[in-house]
């Protein structure tokens, strides 16, 4: 279980932080992620979890699509207002390249020739859709750029995923939003602190989100406002998959049955298999 904590500083800076190791390990297990895929997807899941906490209603829903035309392919991550995140990735086993500084080349694997898109569905007629260019493919910078460009929200984002072979040993993220009217001396301090926030995965190694906020922002007397649990959980169900099978059309479904004996649909987000035999397909098309 991962825990997200929020705090406010000087009534004008909102800090959200999450320790997300369990979320990343669940993603690694489901998708059999290579290290660089785990880093890219883990960072995206961590940020989506932070964003999901902003929703007022449990049913509110966001989808983040990172598509940089790199070896990993498109990464899609969803989060709801009830503390659930999930994700899928086109090429989970993309080769891991280590840069000369010892860090994984996440930007190279994600690619930089593409976009970051956020779709927010809060029950209105139309979902909100925002998009921006990827700036580095390293995810955190791309989100910061997205918020500035697409939502006119100045903020700092720092995300980290620490790995040992195919296990996440520590992960987390901090999202700092500057509200209108923030005093300039506070802004200067926050910018200096954010600049010093490096190696995020180590910061969360054995520390909670609240401890990380205190460690960095303690001098600004943060007021902790809320804390919540977040986990990797898929919301697929038979009814949704029925719709997918129906969308094949009767002819196509019958062709698959004739060839394979059954129709098997695997959820891209959690790996759960749904199997339809001839009887159940007949029922769907009645």
Contact 5, 224 (CB under 8 A): yes
Residue 270 in the binding site for Zn ion (CB under 5 A):
yes
Write phi, then psi, for 92 (nearest 5 degrees). -65, -15
**Pair 177, 133: CB distance under 8 Å:** no
77 binds Zn ion (CB under 5 A): no
Q: Name which of 214, 160, 161, 205 is nearest 15 in CA terms.
A: 214
Residue 276: count of CB within 10 angstroms of its CB: 21
Segment holding 70, helix H or strand E: none
**Closest separation in Å from C-beta 188 to Zn ion:** 46
**217/276 with CB nearer Zn ion:** 276
Shortest distance (Å) from residue 110 CB to Zn ion: 24
Applying CB under 5 A, which part among 50-58, 74-82, 249-257, 262-270 lies near Zn ion? 262-270
Binding marks (x or -) toward Zn ion, 216..255, rule CB under 5 A?
------------------x-x-------------------
When asked if residue 269 is in the footprint of Zn ion (CB under 5 A), the reply is yes
| C-alpha span between 135 and 225 (Å, rounded) | 32
Choose between 89 and 234: whose C-beta lies nearer to Zn ion.
234
Tell the smallest beta-carbon distance from residue 33 to Zn ion (Å).
Answer: 16
Q: In the complex, what is the shortest distance from the CB of residue 240 to Zn ion, in angstroms, rounded to a whole number?
A: 9
- Least spacing, CB of residue 270 vs Zn ion, in Å: 3
267 binds Zn ion (CB under 5 A): yes
80 closest CA partner among 100, 113, 55, 46: 55
Q: Please report, for residues 121, 168, 211, 241, the alpha-carbon distance to residue 23 in angstroms, rounded to integers and kept in the order given.
A: 22, 9, 19, 24
The residue among 42 and 87 lying less far from Zn ion, judged by its C-beta, is 87
List residues near Zn ion by CB under 5 A: 234, 236, 267, 269-270, 272
């Amino acid at each position: 279980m991962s825990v997200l904590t929020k705090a406010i500083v000087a009534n004008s800076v909102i800090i959200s932080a999450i320790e997300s190791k369990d979320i990343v390990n669940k993603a690694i297990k489901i998708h059999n992620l290579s290290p660089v895929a785990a880093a890219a997807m883990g960072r995206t899941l961590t940020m989506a979890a932070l964003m999901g906490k902003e929703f007022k209603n449990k049913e509110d829903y966001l989808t983040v699509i990172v598509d940089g035309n790199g070896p990993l392919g498109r990464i899609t991550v969803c989060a709801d207002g009830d503390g659930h995140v999930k994700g899928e990735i086109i090429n989970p086993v993309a080769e891991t390249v280590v840069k000369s500084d010892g860090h994984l080349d996440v930007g190279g694997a994600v690619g930089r020739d593409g976009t970051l898109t956020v779709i927010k569905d809060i029950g209105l007629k139309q979902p909100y859709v925002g998009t921006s260019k990827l700036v580095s493919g390293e995810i955190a910078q791309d989100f910061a750029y997205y918020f500035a460009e697409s939502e006119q929200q100045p903020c700092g984002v720092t995300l980290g995923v620490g790995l040992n072979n195919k296990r996440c040993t520590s992960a987390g993220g901090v999202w700092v939003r500057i509200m209108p009217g923030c005093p300039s001396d506070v802004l200067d301090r926050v910018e200096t602190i954010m600049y010093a926030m490096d190696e995020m995965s180590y910061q969360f190694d054995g520390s909670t989100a609240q401890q990380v906020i205190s460690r960095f922002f303690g001098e600004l007397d943060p007021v902790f406002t809320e804390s919540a649990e977040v986990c990797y959980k898929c919301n697929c169900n038979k009814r949704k998959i029925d719709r997918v099978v129906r969308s094949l059309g009767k002819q196509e479904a019958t062709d698959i049955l004739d060839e394979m004996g059954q129709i098997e649909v695997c959820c891209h987000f959690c790996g759960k298999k749904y199997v339809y035999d001839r009887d159940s397909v007949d029922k769907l098309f009645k």
